[in-house]
């Protein structure tokens, strides 16, 4: 099943389990050997399962006993053998989450250097998004957070040396990308648990929106942050993300910020060979679906609020038929097609806070997903109306030359100690995570559902009627949350 990270703009190239056309993309190059997700009937791994696998010529690659999940590697015949075990609920090919090609607009090198060497908040005049949420900095007078509260960021890592982030980056960050990276195609990946350095930029950008404190300011500039890196510069596997969620909960983070997501299909994925006409069933992602739901439940049981991005596809995610048609139109083709009900994951799992994105005038961003009962809250993530207008009219050089992105893109920290502009629900999600952290810092630790209700009641400029399908309970406002 195709998955995407982050939803930054709409420039992602999704790589799914069937990205090669007639086969299933797996995390190894051995012929006929694939990776599978296995979930058991109970939230534990049965005794002797490793030995049973060995007898089938398969092995465990990763295990998460807290939710009764393992990733295994073996030949395709292992599926029927494992299915026959009485304690197995489901086994399906493991889901691949693809790191998108993202649009970013770099700053002039001299400006980056000047900002990095500044002893004051150099970029405040450019932070229109943070100004909107903090009411031009008024919320800072009432609370900026503390290291008593920790936001865990599941993403591409964090620049551990960035001058704006280092003061709030707490010990305990972890890397979940194994040696060799995805499919052994990232030889620079060592598998070292402490290698959480950001190689992409997305995770650092997200972190800056939460807790930057230097040349720029995040929404909660004194709040603790911790990185759980699940992406290098390529794709990731479900087990890495699930593992990171469980680990973050075990580490007692208070809020989990997940600017990532994709689509699940409760049905089937098919491929018709154009030469032979043979229809091949590529399976579904039911085991990963169960595993993610269990992971969400586990995280919540540990007292952690999960905040997720709604996605950048510009669709109504409550219309299952529309979503399946969207998947077939956008990501099908070449003989591949989807049958069944589709939904946005993890944004449509129960007990998560789902965030849509707005532009400068509190309008829904042109790329943001929406839907009644789907969106819980809206936050500034930037827009691309002018971007598209100039691009479509062949005047994009003019857009860049006049720096019109200052007006609609969001500035934040980069992976190399500098800063860059981007947009997306990925940029909206961390701002909600930051305000949730501010509420915990003010009112104390509370159950996730209670914190979510407080977020919807106090931390918004409320909306009513049809606007709720776009903005949920309202537009994020840190000043309202703290006053």
**Residues noted as catalytic:** 155, 202, 426
Cα radius of gyration (the chain): 22
Exposed / middle / buried, residue 355 (Cβ in 10 Å: 0-12, 13-18, 19+): buried
266 CB neighbour count, 10 Å cutoff? 14
Long-range CB pairs of 270-276, under 8 A, 24+ apart, other chains included:
270/336, 270/337, 270/338, 270/339, 271/18, 271/21, 271/22, 271/335, 271/336, 272/335, 272/337, 273/22, 273/335, 274/334, 274/335
What gap in Å lies between CA 154 and CA 227, rounded to an integer?
6
Longest dimension (CA), the chain: 69
From residue 83, alpha-carbon distances to 53, 283, 442 in Å are 12, 14, 49
What gap in Å lies between CA 130 and CA 429, rounded to an integer?
13
What gap in Å lies between CA 296 and CA 375, rounded to an integer?
18
Are the C-beta atoms of 150 and 257 separated by less than 8 Å? no
- 3 state DSSP class of 174: strand
């Amino acid at each position: 099943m195709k998955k995407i990270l982050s939803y930054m703009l709409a420039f992602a190239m999704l790589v799914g389990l069937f990205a090669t056309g007639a086969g299933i993309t797996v995390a190894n190059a051995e012929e006929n050997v694939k990776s599978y997700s296995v979930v058991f009937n109970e939230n534990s791994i049965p005794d002797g399962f490793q030995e049973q696998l060995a007898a089938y010529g398969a092995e465990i690659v990763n295990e998460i006993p807290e939710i009764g999940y393992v990733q295994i590697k073996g030949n395709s015949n292992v599926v029927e053998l494992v299915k026959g075990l009485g304690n197995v609920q489901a086994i399906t090919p493991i889901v691949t989450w693809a790191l998108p090609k993202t649009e970013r607009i770099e700053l002039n090198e001299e400006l980056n250097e000047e900002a990095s060497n500044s002893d004051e908040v150099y970029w405040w005049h450019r932070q229109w998004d943070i100004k909107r949420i903090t009411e031009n900095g008024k919320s800072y007078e009432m609370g900026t957070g503390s290291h008593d509260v920790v936001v865990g960021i599941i993403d591409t890592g964090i620049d551990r040396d960035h001058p704006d982030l280092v003061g709030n980056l707490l010990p305990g960050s972890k890397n979940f990308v194994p040696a060799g990276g995805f499919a052994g195609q990232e030889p620079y990946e060592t598998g070292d648990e402490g290698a959480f350095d950001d190689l992409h930029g997305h995770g650092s950008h997200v972190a800056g929106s939460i807790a930057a404190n230097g040349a720029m300011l995040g929404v909660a500039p004194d709040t603790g942050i911790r990185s759980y890196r699940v992406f290098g510069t390529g794709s990731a596997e479900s087990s890495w993300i699930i593992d990171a969620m469980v680990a973050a909960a075990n580490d007692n983070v208070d809020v989990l910020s997940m600017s990532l997501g994709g689509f699940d299909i409760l049905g089937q994925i098919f491929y018709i060979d154009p030469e032979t006409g043979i229809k091949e069933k590529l399976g579904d992602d039911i085991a990963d679906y169960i595993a993610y739901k269990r992971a969400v439940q586990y995280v919540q049981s540990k007292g952690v609020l999960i905040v997720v991005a709604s996605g950048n596809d510009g669709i109504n995610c409550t219309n299952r038929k529309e979503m399946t048609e969207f998947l077939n139109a956008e990501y099908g083709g070449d003989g591949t097609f989807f049958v069944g009900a589709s939904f946005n994951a993890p944004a449509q799992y129960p007990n998560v806070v789902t965030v849509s994105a707005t532009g400068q005038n509190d309008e829904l961003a042109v790329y943001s997903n929406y839907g009644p009962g789907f969106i819980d809250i809206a936050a500034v993530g930037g827009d691309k109306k002018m971007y598209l207008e100039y691009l479509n009219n062949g005047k994009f050089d003019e857009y860049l030359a006049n720096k019109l992105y200052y007006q609609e893109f969001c500035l934040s920290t980069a992976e190399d100690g500098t800063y860059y502009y981007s947009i997306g629900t990925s940029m909206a999600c961390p701002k909600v995570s930051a305000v949730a952290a501010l509420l915990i810092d003010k009112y104390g630790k509370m159950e996730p559902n209670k914190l979510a209700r407080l977020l919807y009641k106090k931390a918004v400029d409320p909306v009513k009627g049809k606007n709720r399908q776009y903005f949920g309970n309202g537009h994020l406002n840190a000043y309202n949350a703290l006053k």
